[in-house]
Structure 1
Amino acid sequence: MKMYNPKTGMDSLVVAPISQANARQRAGRAGRTGPGKCYRLYTEQAYRCEMLPVAVPEIQRTNLENTVLLLKAMGVNDMLNFDFMDPPPVQTLINALESLYELGALDDEGLLTRLGRKMAEFPMEPQLSKMLLASVDLKCSDEIITIVSMLSVQNVFYRPKDKQAMSDQRKSCFHQPEGDHVTYLEIYRGWQRNRFSNSWCFENFIQVSGRQNTE
């Protein structure tokens, strides 16, 4: 489950129990189209004591920068008093507003800037949309588009248990001292030089499906 920590300002994937409502829904699938039984792999005590009655709404547990930016673009300016169906934590909203201000998407009064309005047109995190817009002025759009596409892939490399050392060695060949973003660019260029070969991806322990999405 994706969770946002307002203290660190970062998202993380955490393992968490399903809700009681989810459990009932899953049980309902057994026997829906034919005879079936539901076998639960947890105790009744775990069901009653460890599971929430219903799942926490996504808006209450994820980063809201993109959500706030879209609402601002729709003309909603008073975020703290907006009538959300499931009100998110106040600190998460404040963090989102502060981050958008630092990116130049909001002005001193919390209103959408010209840059912010352009950023809202992109279906991605504000940091990435600003990268794309800035790349036009810096004349490096091709490189930034590639990097942003690579960042959208969850796992670039895979690491088989029986070939971990070889996988790590191949991965190190792509390392660039400038940082991860330039490393991602080098990976894509290597794939491009090899005519987007699937076998090249396998040889270098790179996720083929992720590269196809990038292409």
Structure 2
Amino acid sequence: MDKKYLLNLIETNHNMAGDLLYLTRVIPQGLVHEWASKLDEPKITEKQAWETLAPRFSMTATDLERQVLDGFIGMTFEEIEMESYKIKKLSGEVKKLHAENEALRATIKKVTIPQFVADWIGECKNNEGGVMSLYGALNEMPTEVASWMIDGGSQNYFARAWLDGYEVEEEKLYYVLSPEEKTMLQINGNGDVLHSMGISLKEAQTYHQLTEKEIKDYDERFWPFAVEVTE
């Protein structure tokens, strides 16, 4: 066997490996290529080629030839096919179980939580360093979220929202009105709260409607003048 034939044989048997799970059991292609490329041709015979390589694997030339042709050290081609079949079958069963689990999760009624709690859960799960653990989320949560969870007795809601998903409750909206029922605050397109020009309630627009948080974050002194939007 000349050098070209041996290189082709190695390349062919390497490609037969197929499944990555077994690649570590294949004779390293690069190493065998290196040895084979150093063979002199046409001075070396096929028998001499196997005899040259065999000592590297502490094997006889006959055993090395047989196992390279089979494609794997210690396995026949039939054994490889059987193992590949088992893996594909197991993979299919795992996918089926995953689909059943997702279908079951879809039937679970999701809890409803405030927007600021949903924002915190989203921030934790989209953390740049990876998903923050539930333990980390509980220990590092903002005061507002902690107050809602502990003072409001919503620990179970937080845990269920974390594990099963959630729906965000529709926040109540308010007009901030003066004693003359003129608007005092509004919100612009950038989400900034500003003083209003004093529009009557009848002429008030959606940008005069603010959440409790937006009002209090701007100035808590305006909260007593908040009137819930009922329309």
- TM-score class, shorter-chain normalisation, is under 0.3
Structure with larger Rg: 2
With the length of structure 1 as denominator, give the TM-score of the two structures: 0.21
Query: Which has a greater percent of strand?
Result: 2
